[in-house]
C-alpha cells in the first residue's frame, strides 16, 4: 500500500476492555488505518471514551479521548473494517450481525475460531488460510466476513512451533503455560487469589490451545483447512505476571533434529509475509536467545514492539526430541497486535475496501 493513500477508517468493538485499550494504543498514528469509532456495552455507550474507559496505565491517547462510545450495533458503526475485542459471551451474535451487514470483522474472541469456514490467521504462519473467507461468504451469504486470531497462549506456542513443524514435522507437544493476569481482562482475577500464588486452571484454555494449534499449523486443501497431524497436551496456569505468556514446550518430531539444527531453523525463519513490509510485522518474528535464563516476560515481552515471540532454552528432551521456552505479549502479539497485523495483511492483499 502506498504511503500516499488515504488511511482506512476502522472501529473497535469492546474498546473499553484490556484488549480494546491495546487496540486504541496501537492504532494511534498507524500508517494505514485510522480509528474513527469505538463501541462497548450498553453500560458505557453514550459516554465520551475517556470517561467510559478505565484506562490501564498512562493516559487515554488524546486522539481517542473525545470519541463517543457507540453501541455494538452495525447500524451505528460506519467503518467497514471492524476490530472486535468483545467478551466471548456476546461476540458470536454481535460479530455475525456485523459480518452480515457487510463489515469485515477481525475478531479476538473464541466464538468463530474453530468454524471450518473461518480463517484462524497468523500471517507469518498460515497466510494462505485467508482463502477460507471466500467460502465463508458463499456459505453464509455475508458481504462482509470474519477473520479470527487465536487464543493468546496458542499464538505464542504456534509462532515457536511453526518453523520446527515446517522443517521437521511436529507430531507431539507437551506444553505448560504460565499466563499473565492481563490475559483475564479487566478486572480479571481477584488480587487476593493471584498475588504470591499460581492458579493451575484457566477455564477452557487447555482445550483452545490443543485445538487451535492443530488448525493454525494445518494445511489448506481446496477450500478447507486440514488440521496438522499432531497431538498437543496442554496445562495452563495463571501466574502473578502483568503482561506476557510463557510456554515451556517438549516437542516430538517426525524427522529427528538436534538442538543445533532446531536453533538454526528458528533463527532463519522469516515467516510467509516478510516481503510485504506490513507495518506491525516484527523483523524477525522470532527472537532466539542463547542466555541460559531467558526468555523472561519482564525482559522480553516488548521484543519487536510486543509483536515478536522470544524463544530460548532449546535443548534435548529425554522423553520426546526437543525442549524450548517461548514468551510473547498476550494483549499485543496474542490479541490486538495480532488482529492489526491480520488487517494489514488483508489490506496488502487488496481484500479491504476503505
Ligand atoms: N486479555 C487477553 O490477553 C486476550 C487475548 C486474546 C484474546 N482475548 C479475547 O478478547 C476479548 C476481550 O478480552 P479482554 O481481556 O479485553 O476482556 P475485558 O477486559 O473484559 O473487556 C470486554 C469488552 O467487551 C465489552 N462488552 C462486555 N459485554 C458486552 C455486551 N453485552 N455488549 C457489548 N460489549 C460488551 C466490554 O464493554 P464495557 O466496558 O462497556 O463492559 C469491554 O469493552 C475476549 O473475547 C477475550 O477472550 C483476550
Query: Per residue in 307-342, pLDDT tens?
Result: 999 999 999 999 999 999 999 999 999 999 999 999
* Test site for ligand 1: of 86, 121, 208, 334, most ligand atoms within 8 A of the Cβ: 86
Q: Which residues contact 353 (CB under 8 A, 6 or more apart)?
A: 80
For position 232, what pLDDT does the model report? 98
The mean pLDDT of 87-96, rounded to a whole number, is 97
Which residues are 258's β-sheet partners?
Answer: none
Cell 482445550, residue? 207
In this prediction, residue 1 carries a pLDDT of 53
Classify residue 249 as exposed, middle or buried by CB count within 10 Å of its CB (0-12, 13-18, 19+).
buried
354 pLDDT band (50/70/90 cuts)? low
How many Cα neighbours within 13 Å face the side chain of 249?
35
Counting atoms of ligand 1 from 1, which one is nearest the CA of 109?
Answer: 45
Is the pLDDT confidence value at 228 over 80?
yes
d(CA 3, CA 186): 36
Q: Whose CA is nearest to atom 17 of ligand 1?
A: 185
Rounded mean pLDDT, 66-71: 98
Which SS3 state, helix, strand or coil, does residue 304 take?
A: helix
- Cβ–ligand 1 distance for 72 under 6 Å, the answer yes
Output the pTM of the full model: 0.97
Q: Please give the grid coordinates belonging to residue 110.
A: 473464541
Query: From the alpha carbon of 18, which atom of ligand 1 is closest?
Result: 16
Q: Confidence band (pLDDT; 50, 70, 90) for 57?
A: confident
Three-point CA angle 227, 232, 235, nearest 5°: 140
Under 8 Å between Cβ of 146 and 95:
yes
Amino acid at each position: 500500500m502506498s504511503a500516499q493513500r488515504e488511511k482506512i477508517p476502522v472501529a473497535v468493538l469492546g474498546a473499553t476492555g484490556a484488549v480494546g485499550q491495546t487496540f486504541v494504543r496501537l492504532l494511534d498514528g498507524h500508517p494505514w488505518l485510522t480509528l474513527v469509532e469505538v463501541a462497548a456495552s450498553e453500560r458505557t455507550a453514550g459516554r465520551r471514551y475517556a470517561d467510559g474507559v478505565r484506562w490501564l496505565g498512562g493516559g487515554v491517547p488524546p486522539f481517542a479521548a473525545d470519541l463517543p462510545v457507540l453501541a455494538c450495533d452495525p447500524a451505528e458503526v460506519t467503518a467497514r473494517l471492524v476490530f472486535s475485542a468483545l467478551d466471548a459471551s456476546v461476540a458470536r451474535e454481535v460479530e455475525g450481525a456485523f459480518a452480515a451487514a457487510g463489515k469485515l470483522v477481525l475478531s479476538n474472541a473464541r466464538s468463530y475460531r474453530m468454524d471450518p469456514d473461518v480463517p484462524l490467521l497468523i500471517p507469518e504462519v498460515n497466510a494462505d488460510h485467508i482463502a477460507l473467507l471466500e467460502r465463508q461468504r458463499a456459505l453464509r451469504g455475508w458481504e462482509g466476513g470474519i477473520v479470527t486470531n487465536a487464543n493468546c497462549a496458542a499464538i505464542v506456542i504456534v509462532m515457536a512451533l511453526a518453523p520446527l513443524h515446517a522443517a521437521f514435522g511436529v507430531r507431539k507437544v507437551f506444553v505448560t503455560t504460565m499466563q499473565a493476569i492481563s490475559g483475564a481482562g479487566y478486572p480479571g482475577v481477584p488480587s487476593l487469589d493471584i498475588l504470591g500464588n499460581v492458579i493451575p486452571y484457566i477455564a477452557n484454555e487447555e482445550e483452545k490451545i490443543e485445538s487451535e494449534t492443530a488448525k493454525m499449523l494445518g494445511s489448506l486443501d481446496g477450500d478447507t483447512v486440514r488440521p496438522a497431524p499432531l497431538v498437543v497436551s496442554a496445562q495452563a496456569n495463571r501466574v502473578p505476571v502483568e503482561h506476557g505468556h510463557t510456554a515451556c514446550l517438549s516437542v516430538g518430531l517426525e524427522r529427528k533434529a538436534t538442538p543445533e539444527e532446531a536453533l538454526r531453523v528458528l533463527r532463519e525463519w522469516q515467516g510467509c509475509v516478510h516481503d510485504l513490509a506490513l507495518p506491525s510485522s516484527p523483523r524477525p518474528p522470532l527472537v532466539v536467545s542463547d542466555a541460559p535464563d531467558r526468555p523472561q516476560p519482564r525482559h522480553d515481552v516488548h521484543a519487536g514492539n510486543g509483536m515478536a515471540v522470544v524463544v530460548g532454552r532449546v535443548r534435548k528432551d529425554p522423553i520426546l526430541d526437543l525442549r524450548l521456552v517461548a514468551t510473547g505479549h498476550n494483549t499485543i502479539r496474542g490479541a490486538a497486535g495480532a488482529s492489526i497485523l491480520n488487517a494489514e495483511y488483508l489490506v496488502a492483499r487488496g481484500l479491504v475496501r476503505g
